[in-house]
Structure 1
Amino acid sequence: MDVVMYGSRQGKQRSGAYIFLPDGAAGSILTPDTRPRIAVTTGPLVHEVVSYVGVVSVQQRLGNVEGVEGKSVAVTTFTDIHQEMDKEVVMRLRSSISNDNGVFYTDLNGLQLVRRKTMSKLPLQGNVYPMPTMAFIQDSHHRLSVLGAQPQGVAALKQGWLEVFLDRRLSKDDERGLGQGVKDNKLTAAHFRILLETRAKPLTEVSILPVM
């Protein structure tokens, strides 16, 4: 897991409340003067790692119990970008899953899963989709799912990757009706569960699946 940050394109048209126009690939939130701080807690019921990295702290918790608590990692991020401007913070998950042809899946209003595909001919912003509650990538052997407690944006820009947008702070109005930039300065919490599953039966294609 990495936490990265996109900048905003310079010029007349920039990122705003309704438009995402990055200035290129995302960069690390770490600087040469920034050192992450990590706290590790272990016990008979739960193991927890908290990382403090720049403007984001990430809490990862795995329960030593049966059921969902013991099969998925609970992730909570706290993002504070009140001192940043024209930046968008993203949680990037990297895996060895071979989701060929840039295929991934997101839910549609929590009711159905929809097949998405990253298109190389589109600009970066054209490959970002809504994630109301979940997204996943898969190959013939494994599936990596991200389940969110709140709607986010999501992308799968490279094989084995999932990027989930955490927060943004933008100075310019994108001329889509808001009349101002996005200048919230509050600490933002986001809650997720990350689940890695082994597939008992290889499945080569999924188009639309109901979420029950």
Structure 2
Amino acid sequence: MSDVHVYYTSDSLFRGPFGIDIKNPEHFSVENSQLSADSSGETGLLTSVTSKEDNVKHQIQLSFVMYGVKMAKDKSRAYLVLTDGEVQSVAIFKPFIRVLRGPLMSEFKVMLSNVEHVVRLQNSPGTDGSSVEIHNIVDIKSQQNKELAMKVDTDVSNQDREFFTDLNGFQVHRHCTLDKLPLQANYYHAYNGIPGR
């Protein structure tokens, strides 16, 4: 049996056979047998992940940022970020949040102005149950000459500044953040499900 919680919305939006709990929490979490993922009730974004095996908790701060694009001969396009200045934080305050907890998976979906943000934990004893999946569906049609990015800050000690990305379940690619490279070379893009660098 699954349960659904909806935050920051009117109960008049929902009718039918499903029991839906409507609250305005300070924080909430989803979990499986291996992990617990905690989030801010105010923004809906991930704040920490705890491994149940060793009870190690990692602090995480997710945010969305927006860049303006350079209006020059070379322009931003798929796989290429050419910014016109400093990053701007995207303000988030009490978005619509749906939390689903069930026997196969648990997830929360956050509806932001330009992003449908989903964090999912598979209820599986295998390796797929030991990771946090994050999916973003981005719509910036209402924006002119803007780039949107998800920023991840953690307390994980990463001396070599390495990160790994999944290539559509086929391969895992290793990337390094390097100060000598321009901004666009340190970004990882996914366009129509096709990852690139």
The interval holding the TM-score normalised by the smaller chain is 0.5 to 0.7
Matched, 1:26 2:69: no
Match of 1:9 among 51, 56, 70: 70
The answer on whether the counterparts of 1:45 and 1:64 sit within 8 Å (CA) in structure 2 is yes
Instruction: State the alpha-carbon separation in 2 of the partners of residues 106 and 44 from structure 1.
Output: 27
- The two structures have a TM-score, normalised by structure 1, of 0.50
Q: Which amino acid aligns with 2:76?
A: S
The structure, 1 or 2, with the larger RCO (C-alpha pairs under 8 Å, 6+ apart) is: 1
Q: Which of 74, 90, 103 pairs up with 2:149?
A: 90
Q: CA deviation at 1:125?
A: 2.0
Query: In the superposition, relative to structure 1, how do residues 153 and 30 fare at CA in structure 2: closer, same or farther (>3 Å)?
Result: farther
Alignment CA distance shift 1:61-1:23 (3 Å): same
How do residues 48-197 of structure 1 correspond to structure 2 at under 5 angstroms?
48-105=107-164, 113-114=173-174, 116-128=175-187, 150-153=193-196
TM-score (norm 2): 0.53
Instruction: Give the C-alpha shift of residue 67 in structure 1.
Output: 1.4
SS state of the match for residue 143, structure 2? coil
Seq. identity, %: 36
Deviating more after overlay: 5-14 vs 98-107: 98-107
Supply the distance in 2 between the matched residues of 1:85 and 1:2 (Cα, whole angstroms).
21
For 1:125, what is the secondary structure of its paired residue? helix
Structure 1 residue 52: deviation in Å? 0.9
Q: Which runs of 5+ in 2 are unaligned?
A: 1-61
CA contact (8 A) 1:30 1:54 kept: no
| Structure 1 consecutive aligned stretches of length 4 or more whose deviation exceeds 6 Å | none
Mark the runs of 5 or more structure 1 residues left unpaired by the alignment: 133-148, 155-212
Read off the aligned partner of 2:131 and give its amino acid letter.
S
Matched residues in 2 for 1:107 and 1:64: separation? 20
- CA 1:124 to 1:60, structure 2 compared with 1: closer, same or farther past 3 Å? same
Aligned to 1:41: 100
CA deviation map 1:92-148 (0-9, x unaligned): 23222222143445689966855x44332332123335779xxxxxxxxxxxxxxxx
Q: How many residues align?
A: 135
- When the two chains are superposed, the root-mean-square deviation of aligned CA atoms in Å is 3.4
Report deviation, 1:57.
0.9
Shift of 1:35: 4.0
Query: Structure 1 residues 99 and 25 mapped into 2: Cα distance closer, same or farther (>3 Å)?
Result: farther
Q: Structure 1: how far apart are the matches of 2:105 and 2:167? A: 33
Query: Are the counterparts in 2 of residues 107 and 131 from structure 1 also a CA contact under 8 Å?
Result: no
Determine the structure 2 residue equivalent to 1:202: none
Query: 1:130–1:42: structure 2 CA closer, same or farther, 3 Å change rule?
Result: closer
Distance 2:167 2:116 in 1: 29
Cα deviation for residue 22 of structure 1 reads 1.0
Take 2:76 and 2:124, find their aligned partners in 1: how far apart are those partners?
44
Aligned mates of 2:109, 2:68 — CA distance in 1: 26
Per-residue displacement from partner, 1:67-112 (whole Å, max 9, x unpaired)? 1442222332221111112112222232222221434456899668
SS of residue paired to 2:147: strand
8 Å contact kept, 1:106–1:130: no
